[in-house]
Chain A
Amino acid sequence: MSLKTKALLNSLWVYHLSCGSCNNCDIEILDCLTPRFDIERFGIKLVGSIRHADVLLVTGIVTKQVLPRLKRLYEQAPKPIVIVAVGACPCSGGIFAKSYSMAGPLDKVIPVDAYIPGCPPKPEAIIAAVVKLWKKLGK
């Protein structure tokens, strides 16, 4: 593994985008930062600006309203960027799959690197996804 990849894996800065979620997944993401799970042990932290981010974390269904903003954020992100879909909604559409305001699951819009299903996914599931992401990026 090159030093660049190793550094990237050890310092994933996450930009959290809530497209149209019910706030459950967002709370579970914040759970990962609490003393019980403390994901900062692995250098993962939330950042406020997409320009600082290595991971674009998307929760909630991709609505027609948010679609242009999502595309713009993806274009604004400095590459390499990793896209993670958290929860049933961005993975497949969940119970909103047939909704009139639905613009399709996230992978119809931008390339997704990791899916974390669940409504909402447990913090353990999110951490398991981080481990899988490390294995994928390490190759």
Chain B
Amino acid sequence: MRELFQYLIFPGAVFTVCVGCLASWIDRKVSARVQWRVGPPFLQPFYDIVKLLGKETTIPKGASRATFLLCPLVAFASVILVSTLLWRIMLSPGVSYVGDLIVVIYLLTIPSLCLVIGGAASANPLSSLGASREMKLILSYELPFILVLFVPVIQARGALQLGHLMIFQQTNHLAVFSLSGLLAFIVAILCMQARLGLVPFDAPEAETEIIAGPYTEYSGPPLALFKLTGWMSLFVLPVFLMILFMGGINFSGIHLLWGILKYVLLLVIIILIRNTNPRLRIDQVLRFFWTRVFILALISVILALAGV
């Protein structure tokens, strides 16, 4: 019963949706200010979602009906699960179990995979193209991302529990304050940008080339679920990086404010990268991640093993 409450209300669905909407609003507002515009009102994400829920759901002819409709739901559910896991660990590090880091890595891949499957199931050439690009994107960022996740683990002497990693950093020093941790953090931010599918790594969605990529055929409630998944990732992924590299959020007194500041800092970095870069072609993305970013990740792991 308690787990159900946690999944559906507090660190889970309702809470994550609200903070995700807030993050999306900050994203649009800051982007607008960067472009010298005023930007949308505070309730804009809420209006968008309510409107999409009231629209008609169209299923294209020739599409695989069940797969097409299930993909957004699975993506949405898995993001909620990640959020619940991470917040439970931050609220009480004792509930962390061996290998939950690996579970979170797997769960974080599910929304991207759902996008690939949903795009491929929607019987539209542009969706298939977007799905194929998304698949290449997953292949390119996954390698350096998993590599740099070793860095805080090595620093914490091989602890695979998120709770241990967090406590270790809070008692000793934060991972970002060492050279290897800083390099790993930079790589992780780039991988996070790709995972969120934002500029410069938004080749799968590329609205000026392939309409909306995998989202093209989605309308109404399924589209609302995909949008929400994206917005919630904007909240969940920075929190994941905070636990790994910045000691998470400490809920006692003034430390809470410091934790919120860390999140806002990460969000603003994402938004600024997004607003100051052009879109890369998918082959450029692959080359970028597998050469430069991979080498940087390798150096950070070697430095971490050397204890720098």
Contacts and interface: CB of A to CB of B under 8 A. Distances in A.
A11 B44 contact: yes
Interface residues of B, number: 32
Contact of B211 (A7, A8, A48, A76): A48
Given A7-B51, A10-B43, A38 B37 contact: yes
Contacts, number: 82
Contact of B48 (A3, A4, A43, A49): A43
Interface in A49-84: 49, 51-52, 54, 76, 78-80
Contacts of B50: 3-4, 7
Nearest to A75: B58
B93 interface: no
B154 to A, nearest CB: 44
B62 interface: no
A51 B217 contact: yes
A47 interface: yes
* Chain B interface SS verdict (over half): loop
A40 interface: yes
A52 B219 contact: yes
Nearest to B57: A78
Interface string B217-248: 11110010000000000000000000000000
What's the interface size class on A, roughly?
Answer: 20 to 34
Given A35-B35, A43-B41, A43-B44, A51 B51 contact: no
A51 B37 contact: no
Contacts of B3: none
Nearest to B51: A7
B7 to A, nearest CB: 26
B43 A35 contact: no
Interface of B: 28, 32, 35-41, 43-44, 46-48, 50-51, 54-58, 207-208, 211-212, 215-220, 223
Given A40-B38, A48-B212, A78-B58, 17 more contacts: A4-B54, A6-B47, A7-B48, A7-B50, A7-B51, A10-B44, A11-B47, A11-B51, A41-B38, A41-B40, A41-B41, A43-B41, A43-B47, A48-B207, A49-B215, A51-B58, A54-B51
